[in-house]
């Protein structure tokens, strides 16, 4: 068996062990299913709500907000870092803004977001943009300024200027950092969107997974609360282990710009 397959198997074994402990413990200690339903009940509830389209619908809503937020943040990142690498003022602006806003939790902006954008998707997207813009900008900027001087000279030697230089040399050369920024951004965005939906959900926007979880707690459908959490975890795992792994292997690993991974 290849080391990679063994590693994957080990991870699966950890999940299986956790599920088994969960199942046995809840049954052995007769825990109230209203507080902590057994794993089997949760998985059945999860399967049911996937089947009846409830979970996919809510998940799609959350992902839609998340992708819109990340898309806007990506454009802003490109603009901000583009100005920052080409002008001194720009880099001062970027550094000041990121040090001010990066530590500010997205949730803390929610009252303002509600005030400015009202109840609805706009407010959610705003807080998602805030949560991913700063880490993505920081990483992209680091990527740009650490491009090897020789590569810059090669680009200049070819007569590349302005946008052609950015697209032809800087972006691909900084790609390992940019990818890290996107991965961090994704994790932040995912947390933010779930948390924000819980607040907005009550206020009556069309619901995402956060709202699904919140609503089911309200109705004491504890197994569905767990099913919602399972969905959040499963989507996180899929994106991290399939999408990002694939992206890394198709780019930075293939180009020899990162250490090969398990």
Partner 1 sequence: MAADLLRVVDVALAYERHEGSFTAVDGVSLVVREGERFVLFGPSGCGKSTLLQAMAGFLRPSRGSIELDGKPVLAPGPDRVVVFQEFDQLLPWRTVLGNVAYPLRVARGMAAAQAKAEALRYVELVGLAGFAQAHPHQLSGGMKQRVAIARALALSPRILLMDEPFASLDAITRRKLQDDLLAVLRAARTTLLFVTHSVEEAVLLGDRILVLTSTPGKVRGMVDNPAAGSRHTASAVQVQRAVDELLAG
Q: Are 177 and 215 in contact (CB under 8 A)?
A: no
Which part of the chain contacts partner 1 (CB under 8 A), choosing from 23-31, 51-59, 105-113, 170-178?
A: 170-178
HSE of 197 in the Cβ direction (CA atoms, 13 Å)?
26
Task: Report the residue number, 3 or 159, with the smaller CB distance to partner 1.
Answer: 159
One of 60, 158, 203, 242 touching partner 1 (CB under 8 A)? 158
The reply on whether position 159 binds partner 1 by CB under 8 A is yes
Tokens for 82, please give them. Answer: 């583009």
The reply on whether position 157 binds partner 1 by CB under 8 A is yes
Task: Report the residue number, 25 or 158, with the smaller CB distance to partner 1.
Answer: 158
The reply on whether position 256 binds partner 1 by CB under 8 A is yes
Tokens 């949730």 appear where? 107
One of 164, 233, 243, 261 touching partner 1 (CB under 8 A)? 164
The reply on whether position 249 binds partner 1 by CB under 8 A is no
How many C-beta neighbours within 10 Å does residue 65 have? Answer: 27
Closest approach, Cβ 160 to partner 1, in A, equals 6
Q: Could you give the string, one character per residue 80-99, with x where binding to partner 1 holds by CB under 8 A and - elsewhere?
A: --------------------
Closest approach, Cβ 182 to partner 1, in A, equals 16
The reply on whether position 247 binds partner 1 by CB under 8 A is no
Closest approach, Cβ 150 to partner 1, in A, equals 5
Q: Are 79 and 92 in contact (CB under 8 A)?
A: no
> What's the CA gap between 56 and 12, in Å, rounded?
23
- What is the length of the chain? 262
Q: Which residues of 41-56 are buried (b: 16+ CB within 10 A; e: fewer)?
A: bbbebbeebbeeebbe
Query: 191-194, long-range: CB within 8 Å, 24+ apart, which pairs?
Result: 191/131, 192/106, 192/107, 192/127, 192/128, 192/131, 192/132, 193/62, 193/65, 193/66, 193/69, 193/124, 193/128, 194/62, 194/232
Task: Report the residue number, 76 or 257, with the smaller CB distance to partner 1.
Answer: 257
How many C-beta neighbours within 10 Å does residue 85 have? Answer: 19
Which part of the chain contacts partner 1 (CB under 8 A), choosing from 94-102, 150-158, 208-216, 217-225?
A: 150-158
The reply on whether position 163 binds partner 1 by CB under 8 A is no
Closest approach, Cβ 147 to partner 1, in A, equals 10
The reply on whether position 175 binds partner 1 by CB under 8 A is yes
One of 72, 97, 107, 257 touching partner 1 (CB under 8 A)? 257
Q: Are 139 and 187 in contact (CB under 8 A)?
A: no
Closest approach, Cβ 143 to partner 1, in A, equals 13
């Amino acid at each position: 068996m290849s080391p990679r397959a063994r590693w994957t198997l080990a991870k699966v074994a950890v999940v299986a062990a956790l599920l088994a402990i969960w199942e046995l413990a809840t049954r052995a200690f007769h825990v109230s299913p209203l507080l902590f339903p057994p794993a089997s009940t949760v998985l059945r509830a999860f399967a049911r709500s996937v089947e009846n389209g409830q979970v996919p619908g809510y998940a799609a809503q959350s992902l839609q907000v998340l992708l819109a937020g990340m898309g806007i943040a990506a454009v802003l990142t490109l603009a901000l870092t583009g100005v920052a690498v080409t002008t001194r003022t720009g880099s001062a602006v970027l550094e000041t803004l990121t040090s001010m806003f990066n530590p500010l939790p997205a949730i803390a902006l929610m009252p303002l977001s509600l005030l400015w954008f009202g109840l609805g998707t706009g407010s959610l997207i705003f807080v998602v943009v805030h949560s991913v813009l700063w880490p993505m900008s920081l990483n992209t900027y680091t990527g740009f300024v650490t491009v090897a001087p020789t590569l810059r000279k090669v680009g200049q030697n070819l007569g590349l200027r302005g946008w052609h230089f950015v697209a032809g040399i800087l972006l691909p050369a900084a790609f390992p950092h940019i990818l890290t920024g996107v991965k961090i951004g994704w994790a932040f965005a995912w947390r933010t969107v779930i948390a924000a939906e819980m607040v907005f959900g009550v206020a009556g926007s069309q619901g995402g997974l956060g709202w699904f979880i919140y609503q089911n707690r309200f109705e004491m459908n504890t197994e569905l609360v767990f099913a919602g959490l399972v969905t959040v975890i499963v989507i996180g795992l899929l994106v991290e282990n399939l999408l990002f792994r694939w992206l890394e292997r198709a780019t930075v690993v293939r180009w020899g710009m990162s250490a090969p991974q398990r």
